Amino acid sequence: MVDYIGVTDVARLIQAIGPGKFIERLALEILADYRRWHEFEKSARMASHSEVGVIELMPTSDGRLFSFKYVNGHPKNTAEGLLTVTAFGVLADVATGYPLLLSELTVTTALRTAAMSALAAQWLARRDNRVMALIGNGAQSEFQSIAFHRMLGIRVLRLYDVDPLATSKLERNLRAMPELRDLELVRTSSTTEACRGADIVTTVTADKKNAVILTPPMVAPGMHLNAVGGDCPGKTELHGDILRMPQARVIVEYEPQSRIEGEIQQMDASYPVTEFANVVLGRAPGRRSDSDITIFDSVGFALEDYSALRFLHALLNEGHIPRRQIDLVPVLDNPKDLFGGTLGAGVARPRLIKTG
């Protein structure tokens, strides 16, 4: 039997632990895994692109556990009442190849993306951050807001979205959370206005195109840019001249993947970037001075999903939710007799229940 965590299970976990604390604990798990970067198999994700979206597989292993995530990205889905991103994942035992956990990762991906964003900002942003511009107020925006409030001490959010209803949704959801009662929400009329006075700018837009969300005049010395939305080929958010600014320092998760999918797909192969693992391991500086413009070119990496799946599996032992299991793998008296143990004579078969 294989442990199973569904959407309702994750919702109950968040209610039991609290969203801010959950994100913070998940960020610590991600940090611990980045600190053993050398132990992981690393590869760019396998992607199947179409005109309307992308379907991807994201595998990794540390030699003891293996994980993969199935994830899609279809920006036009919302027009049909569907989610832009859905995902599920598997955690498996390398020694036997047996799956240990099958889990939803749609909600969990939003949580781990926010956890990774805030974790990177802890290492890259200035220490006196209080104001963040949040450009794009869709499905990821609440999670980013909670993470930066909890982990960075953000107290003012300057909001902008081309869809005013998205901003209204975000305001309504955040104001309903007691833990965010000291978070001031400022609705703005443009990206330029949202960025004015911000210490951190988070861009998390959904359109699958080379968009220009931020331009150099919007970027001030000392800012930290959390570029989340550009996460596949042909999809970016930052004007290329921001990356060329003398003070700019770009930090990525896994360089070979970010060269294909990140903001740096706009630049040639000689453009210098730093992998986040090298920052946390002390091999490279993140921010060198208060005037640096640090850019976290976030596309999401398989290690973060590994951390999330490992964390979810560990939480089953804390008793927050009932443990559920599914018969994903046959259990046989004779492992050499798959047919006899599943389809052969005398094996219990499900009864058909007539209805109507």
Active site residues per annotation: 231
Terminal CA-CA length for the chain: 33
233 alpha carbon, distance to own chain's centre: 17
Position 227: which residue type? A
Query: 176: closest CA among 11, 16, 19?
Result: 19
d(CA 298, CA 256): 13
DSSP 345: T
The count of other CB atoms within 10 Å of the CB of residue 130 is: 14
User: Who contacts 329 (Cβ-Cβ below 8 Å, separation ≥6)?
Assistant: 1, 2, 98, 99
Q: Buried b / exposed e across 339-349, counting CB within 10 Å, b at 16+?
A: eeeeeeeeeee
CA of 27: how far to CAs of 133, 148, 305, 308, in Å? Answer: 21, 12, 11, 9
DSSP 218: G
Whether the CB-CB separation of 228 and 113 falls below 8 Å is answered with yes
DSSP 336: T
Position 70: which residue type? Y
Beta strand pairing call for 65-73 and 87-93 = antiparallel
The count of other CB atoms within 10 Å of the CB of residue 181 is: 8
d(CA 290, CA 170): 31
d(CA 214, CA 223): 13
CA of 44: how far to CAs of 41, 58, 214, 235, in Å? Answer: 10, 8, 26, 16
